[in-house]
Every structure is written in C-alpha cells, then in structure tokens.
Amino acid sequence: SGRKVLIVYAHQEPKSFNGSLKTVAVEELSKQGCSVTVSDLYAMQFEPRATRSDIVGCLHNPEEFNYGVETWEAYKRGGLSSDLVEEQKKVQEADLLIFQFPLYWFSMPAIMKGWMDRVLVQGFAHEFPDCYDSGLLKNKLALFSFTTGGSRETYTKGGINGDIRYLLWPMQHGIMHFCGVKVLAPHVCFAPEFVSEEKRKEMLIAWAQRLKTLWKEEPINCSSEWYFK
C-alpha cells in the first residue's frame, strides 16, 4: 500500500505478550506492503527525561531554563539533540502511529511518556492556536494497543477501575488529538497473563485480523462524549 507505520513499543522483554503483539503488527502490516519502523524504547535506552541536554548549543534564555520555550526555539533553528530529530523524522514520515505497551498505573510506562514529552515539541507537533483539530500532525492516525493486569469487568463503568475509556482521555485526547492526530479505536488485551495459552493465541489472531482491515476504519469521535458519556 506504500503507507508508512511507526510502532512506538515499550516492553523490556521481547518474548512478552506485548512483544508478540508488536511482532504481529510488523508482520501483518509488512505483508500489506506498508513500510514499518519500530522504536523499541527499552532496547534503544531511550532517555525519558526532558533536560537541558535536549538543546544543542546556546540557550534562548540562559538566565532561566524553560524547557517548553527552549525546545521550541531549538526546533525552529534546528538545534534539538539528534535522538529527538531522529524520532521526529519517523513521526513526520508516518501515516500511522501505533503505541504498544503494558498499562502502568492507569497510564503508559514512563519511558513512553518521556517519548511524548520530548518528541512532540511545540513547533513540530502543535503551535497555539494550531492544536486539536488544527494540530500540526493533522494528517496522521494513531492507535493505542495495550495490555492490562485487570480483567475486562474491572474496567467497566460500574467496575472497580472505572471505564477503560476514562484512562484513554489523557493519552488519546490530551496528547494525540491535541497534536491534530486522528485516533482509531484502541486495541485492549485484558489480563493476558491470567488467561490460557489458547486465549492468548486468540488475542493475537484477533489483532492480526483487525490489522487486515485497519485502513478502512473510521477514527473515533474526538469529543469528550466518546470518553465520558
């Protein structure tokens, strides 16, 4: 299909279920003729901290360090550190971003949050008033594919953890939609470590099946209604 996909993947163990989900995506999408790039954050030893080291050369205001302002200014003059430039290039080229991770404390692992903090800088991903529907990454799609520790029942409106969609608000809406990215329905594998090997195989097959028709899917409705109705 000539489409480009970036998979941002956060798991320490290649043989993990998350590792298998990532592999399935690479294989299935490659089979379709997509070119697939993987940012394997742990393997890359990706730096999650937003620091002065992200700016090459002089600071815009050496008197008082403001990360947002400094990275914005650095982006404009081509002065961001090479690891950020590298990731931004992958994002820029991608038609679809897939985030693959285990849910940690109702959120993404710190290493992936650090990727968001450092890569999606002002000027590159958003620039007020160019945010939400007019965000700078507006012709891209994103999909959050993740595993949970708790069962599906615990992530319902009446369940102990509340609706799984509540947790997606900061990730899908606060980050992706803010940058203009259109979001496909999330792919959630509930409690893979507590189900049979058979059930895990079914989960992988279901993911492969979904990927076959992924490009025909419509993005979710980007309003708060999708999350909280």
- Say how far apart CA 4 and CA 168 lie, in whole Å: 24
- Answer whether 4's CB lies under 8 Å from 93's CB: yes
Class assignment of domain 4-228?
Answer: alpha beta
pLDDT tens digits for 7-52? 999 999 999 999 999 999 999 999 999 999 999 999 999 999 999 9
Could you tell me the residue ranges of all domains in the chain? Answer: 4-228
pLDDT tens digits for 162-215? 999 999 999 999 999 999 999 999 999 999 999 999 999 999 999 999 999 999
For residue 126, list its beta bridge partners.
Answer: 122
Close Cβ partners of 77 (under 8 Å, ≥ 6 residues apart): none
CA distances from 83 to 16, 29, 35, 86, 88 (A): 26, 25, 21, 5, 9
Which amino acid makes up residue 49?
R
Residue 119 has pLDDT above 90, yes or no: yes
Does pTM top 0.85 for this prediction?
yes
Residue 1 has pLDDT above 80, yes or no: no
Handedness of CA 129, 130, 131, 134 (dihedral sign): positive
